[in-house]
Structure 1
Amino acid sequence: MVRLVFHQPLRQTEGLLGSLLDLMGVDLPVPNHATISRRAARLTPVLRTAPPDGPVTLVIDRTGLKVYGAGEWHRDKHGVRGRRTWRKLHLAVDATTNIIVAATVTTSGEGDAG
């Protein structure tokens, strides 16, 4: 399921799971990429896509996300100042269940009213 959420290759998913377990302080073995692949073949995730029934109280917020490109490390290492790239993440969350109902990413040039 982690692999589907983050759209990662198998070896990266293995590393992410290991890092998460280390951060949580949980001493569990991490399955290798071959085991993840075998288990994923039998997995049929059910993701909720239908909106909730009845009226919903939405909390809408946006935040800026810094985009790190291929040359970002070069700029940081050599002190070259270039244009920073930003995106805006817009989220609509159901206030009672804390479920994300809608999400979209826009460029920094697009206005919020549109």
Structure 2
Amino acid sequence: MLQLMVTKRIGRRQFHFTVSGNNLHETVAEYDRLSFADVAACGICGSDNLDLASRVAQGKFKYTSIKCRDCRADITFGKREDDDQTYFLRRREGGELDWKAFSPDRTDAKGEK
């Protein structure tokens, strides 16, 4: 079993992930599933006070996001339909990260707050 430690910088924090596989190819394929770049700052207020968050909506929809601890904006990770273990950060049509400003009334695509 081969293992590879991956470090992702999100704001001022570093998160360490360990991926593994039976050989080099499988290990690198697991690394590719973390297909998001480092995120230096909030896309709304510019703060580097960011953290990872997760939640479950309607008891079955799992969401992972990066949240700004200062303005409470967030950006949600997407997952591929054909491989729900591959994560990427959602982007707008122009290619920029799809940060959402905090709003107590905001709902997501499934109608969840």
Query: Smaller-chain TM-score range?
Result: under 0.3
- Greater CA radius of gyration, 1 or 2? 1
TM-score for the superposition, normalised by structure 2: 0.25
Q: Name the structure where helix makes up a greater proportion of residues.
A: 1
TM-score for the superposition, normalised by structure 1: 0.25
